[in-house]
Structure 1
Amino acid sequence: MTLAEAAGVAEATFWHSVAVFLRVGAAMAVLPAFGSQSVPLRIRAVAAIAFTAVVAPAVPPLFAGPPDLPRLVRFLATETLAGLAFGLALRLFVLALQTAGAIAANAISLAQLLGGAQPEPTPAIGHVLVLAGLAIAVSAGLHVRLAEYLVHSYALLPAGGFPDAAAMAGWGSSQVAKAFALAFSLAAPFLILSLLYNLTLGAISKAMPQLMVAFVGAPVITLGGLALFALAAPLMLTIWHEALLAYLADPRGTP
């Protein structure tokens, strides 16, 4: 290989990597764990470059040489949108844990405990669920799954093409619906406990109107909710992690 040929290959590789970085960098800004606000910006930038180095060789060449300005601008728009779309779809799983924690905390009267102590205001139960879920996902090889997910994204949404608005809207709404369904299913035991508690409290209040049932019942629901959380948290995180892996294996969500 001559020096001129090597320079041409290096130039094509550089522009190909730039195109891949546009999608990977946009996704990295919102991905779970790697895109968290608690992660320093420099660390996120280094992680985006590292993921680009892994994803780029697995993606067919996007540029044979230096692109002209209109094509570069087009790629800047399409790849950024694609990266944000795929990143936000994964971010919904974190929001599902936060929503489940908020529902559970409201059900057992712990919604205000440490609610504003984090960059993203979350009840203590939601914060514990998010930290535990992300720790499980990362320890189980989330970085490998994310690299596969980003490579597969080029088959779902080819580079340089604007996605169909109707198809993207339908896909996005279905992912949001699944996230809320997952959050509700995770918090279902706490809702059942709250329902039973309120029915029991109503029956006691009806039978003994002079008893201040609120003062007696508030510690009971809190203690019972914490005990239920200690028992149910492992199962909740297992269900969440399986749902995350199922989505990463099939982002389209085909039955």
Structure 2
Amino acid sequence: MNDQLWIGFIVFLRVAATISLIPAFGERTVPMRIKLTIAIAFTLIVAPALSIAAPPYSFGVLPLVVLTETLVGVLLGLGIRLFILALQTAGAIAAQSTSLSQILGGAATEPLPAMGYVLTVGAIALAVMTGLHVKAAQLLIHSYTLLPIGIFYGGSDVADWGLQQVARAFELAFVLAAPFVLMSVLYNLALGVINKAMPQLMVAFVGAPVITLGGLFLLFLAAPTMLGVWLSALDTFMANPFGGQP
């Protein structure tokens, strides 16, 4: 097999697995033909930028290369996809805290509260506007330095790395949703005081519109900051996805 074609095939395995999971390019609403075209385009960008020594082609090497490169691509893609899941979790926490969890819940491909859907769409748009395609190409090129071709890492290393990414995603979700949780605590505390002072007043009927309007207003104020924090965390991960370890 031609050396250039062989290297292109190896790069395509990692690129295609990553592209199928990252935001914007890997969404379920994107047709498979479009994803394939994007993967080929990224391959044409990444392959010429590499100065790697690929293992010689043979039927014995082929299964190892296919397995390791696909696994590395999936790991990179999952690491990035967790940032979208963190944002969706933050939206769910915020919606539950402000009684907005059922509005437009089925409008997305996956059932999401309105806040999670708005934040997810806004985050994907922001990531694309700030050069997600360039960052993804740089990440893929840099990944060959961190994870050379044909190297298979142990399950314990992958599990430790995955646990760190999941913990980071939940930490980010709770940080983003913190203003809404704090507002909910203050609202329920005030509601309890009012109910104690005036037991005959139906505070639930009075307070429900207040928490709904307050949640929407807080989303209007906090969304730019939330998306900025999210984008900064995403950029940090894409600049150094393994933190010095696979």
TM (normalized to structure 2)? 0.96
Name the structure 2 match of 1:45.
Answer: 36
Q: Structure 1 residue 140 and structure 2 residue 130: aligned?
A: yes
5+ residue gaps, structure 2? none
Name the structure 1 match of 2:199.
Answer: 209
Q: Over residues 67-96 of structure 1, what are the superposed CA-to-partner deviations in whole Å (9 max), with x where a residue is unaligned?
A: 222210111111111100010000011111
Query: Structure 1: how far apart are the matches of 2:126 and 2:38?
Result: 19
Query: Structure 1: how far apart are the matches of 2:28 and 2:226?
Result: 24
Contact 1:12 1:64 survives alignment (8 Å): no
SS in 1 for 2:60: helix
4+ residue runs over 6 A deviation: none
How many pairs align? 244
Q: Over residues 152-207 of structure 1, what are the superposed CA-to-partner deviations in whole Å (9 max), with x where a residue is unaligned?
A: 11122111111122111111111111111111101100000000001011111111
Name the % identity: 55
Contact 1:19 1:62 survives alignment (8 Å): no
Q: 2:185 aligns with which of 173, 195, 203?
A: 195
Q: 1:253 aligns with which of 238, 243, 246?
A: 243
TM (normalized to structure 1)? 0.92
Query: Structure 2: how far apart are the matches of 1:229 and 1:244?
Result: 21
Question: C-alpha displacement at 1:64, in angstroms?
Answer: 6.5
Query: Structure 2: how far apart are the matches of 1:227 and 1:19?
Result: 50
Pairwise mapping of residues 62-101 of structure 1 onto structure 2 (< 5 A)?
A: 62-63=53-54, 67-101=57-91
5+ residue gaps, structure 1? 1-7
Higher Rg: 1
Name the structure 2 match of 1:233.
Answer: 223
CA-atom RMSD, angstroms? 1.3
Query: Structure 2: how far apart are the matches of 1:178 and 1:122?
Result: 21
* Deviation larger for 89-98 or 154-163: 154-163
Q: Structure 1 residue 24 and structure 2 residue 15: aligned?
A: yes
Question: C-alpha displacement at 1:62, in angstroms?
Answer: 4.7
Query: Structure 2: how far apart are the matches of 1:83 and 1:62?
Result: 19
Contact 2:90 2:174 survives alignment (8 Å): yes
Query: Structure 2: how far apart are the matches of 1:61 and 1:155?
Result: 9
Q: Over residues 91-133 of structure 1, what are the superposed CA-to-partner deviations in whole Å (9 max), with x where a residue is unaligned?
A: 0111111111111000000101111111111111111111111
* Deviation larger for 142-151 or 53-62: 53-62
Aligned residue identity for 1:76: V
> Which one scores higher on RCO, CA 8 angstroms, separation ≥ 6?
2
